[in-house]
Each structure stands twice: as C-alpha cells, then as structure tokens.
C-alpha cells in the first residue's frame, strides 16, 4: 500500500499548531496525540488562510 501524502507541509502544520495552542502536545506525542477537535480546528484555520489568500485579504 502506498502512503498518502499530506496536503500541508510539516512546517505549516507546526505553525498552525503553535497558533492554536497544541504544539506542545505535537512535540511530546506526535500528530497522533492531538484531539480530533484540534485537528478539525487546524483544518478550518488552514482553509481560512487559503480563502484569505485567494481573495487578497490577510
């Protein structure tokens, strides 16, 4: 089986984790240690950032 490649770079995910306040968990336990809610919030924030870039807002 091939492994799925992520859409977000590792550095972008780390930046989002820091912004959302769960980077310490990522450092200690890896990405598997975060809560589903945190993962969802990370995806939501990434979408917001992408939409803002498309519309020219920051």
Tell me: the pLDDT tens digits for 13-48?
Answer: 999 999 999 999 999 999 999 999 999 999 999 999
Is the whole model's pTM more than 0.85, yes or no?
Answer: no
Taking the C-alpha atoms of residue 36 and residue 18, their distance in angstroms, rounded to an integer, is 16
Show Cβ contacts of residue 31 under 8 Å, excluding neighbours closer than 6 positions: 13
């Amino acid at each position: 089986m091939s492994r799925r490649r992520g859409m977000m770079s590792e550095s972008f995910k780390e930046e989002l984790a820091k912004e959302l306040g769960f980077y310490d968990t990522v450092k200690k336990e890896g990405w598997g240690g975060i809560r589903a809610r945190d993962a969802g919030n990370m995806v939501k924030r990434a979408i917001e950032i992408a939409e803002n870039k498309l519309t020219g807002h920051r």
